[in-house]
């Protein structure tokens, strides 16, 4: 199997595929009218940055190890914690649940629930801290998008957003 920077090509295939999709999305987003392209372009650039970090983290280089240590400390969890596969499955399911919640009940209801759950159970913080972070995040998002940018936040299928 061919290797690049100490990593097999097949290990880099998923982020490379996402890189191609993100570039295509960015190209399409720049075709929108100026006011309509702001958010899609921002998302595409963020995705390109995240894919870049993912690619670097997969290399067997010093930079790759630094990125893993800083952005994925769970990969080096101490013994006695859940196996890596179980933690990865939990992470995938939590993101899938978040996306399903966004579609079904909307942004302003899902974000506080997701943030609270993440801080409380993944971050192992108190209920008070978890609630405070969830409220602060929700207020910030509401102020930024609904008030400052005047963007109507998606209300979900159950909230009439269908």
pLDDT in tens, 107-150: 889 999 999 998 898 888 899 999 999 999 999 998 988 888 88
Kindly state whether residues 86 and 107 are assigned to the same domain.
Answer: yes
Domain boundary among 51, 76, 101: 76
Domain boundary among 16, 42, 76: 76
Q: Total structural domains in the chain?
A: 2
Kindly state whether residues 65 and 120 are assigned to the same domain.
Answer: no
Model pLDDT for residues 81-107, shown as the tens digit of each residue? 556 677 778 878 888 999 999 889 988
Non-local CB neighbours of 67 within 8 Å, separated by 6+ positions: 53, 56, 57
Kindly state whether residues 69 and 96 are assigned to the same domain.
Answer: no
Kindly state whether residues 2 and 53 are assigned to the same domain.
Answer: yes
Q: Give the residue numbers spanning the domain of 87.
A: 82-162
Kindly state whether residues 64 and 109 are assigned to the same domain.
Answer: no
Kindly state whether residues 63 and 94 are assigned to the same domain.
Answer: no
Give the up-direction half-sphere exposure of residue 137: CA atoms within 13 A in the CB hemisphere: 19
For all residues of the chain together, what is the average pLDDT? 84
Domain boundary among 76, 91, 106: 76
Kindly state whether residues 93 and 135 are assigned to the same domain.
Answer: yes
pTM for this model (two decimals): 0.53
> What is the C-alpha to C-alpha distance for residues 162 and 158, in angstroms, rounded to an integer?
8
């Amino acid at each position: 199997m061919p290797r690049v920077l100490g990593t097999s090509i097949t290990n880099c295939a998923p982020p490379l595929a996402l890189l191609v999709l993100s570039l295509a999305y960015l190209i399409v987003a720049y075709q929108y009218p100026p006011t309509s392209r702001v958010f899609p372009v921002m998302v595409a650039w963020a995705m390109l940055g995240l894919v870049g970090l993912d690619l670097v983290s997969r290399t067997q280089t010093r930079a790759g190890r630094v990125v893993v240590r800083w952005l994925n400390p769970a990969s080096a969890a101490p013994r006695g914690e859940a196996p890596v596969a179980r933690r990865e499955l939990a992470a995938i399911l939590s993101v899938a649940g978040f996306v399903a919640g966004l579609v079904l009940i909307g942004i302003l209801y899902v974000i506080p629930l997701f943030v609270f759950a993440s801080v409380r159970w993944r971050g192992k913080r108190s209920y008070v801290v978890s609630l405070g972070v969830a409220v602060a995040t929700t207020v910030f998002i509401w102020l930024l998008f609904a008030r400052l940018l005047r963007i109507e936040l998606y209300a979900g299928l159950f909230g009439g957003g269908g």
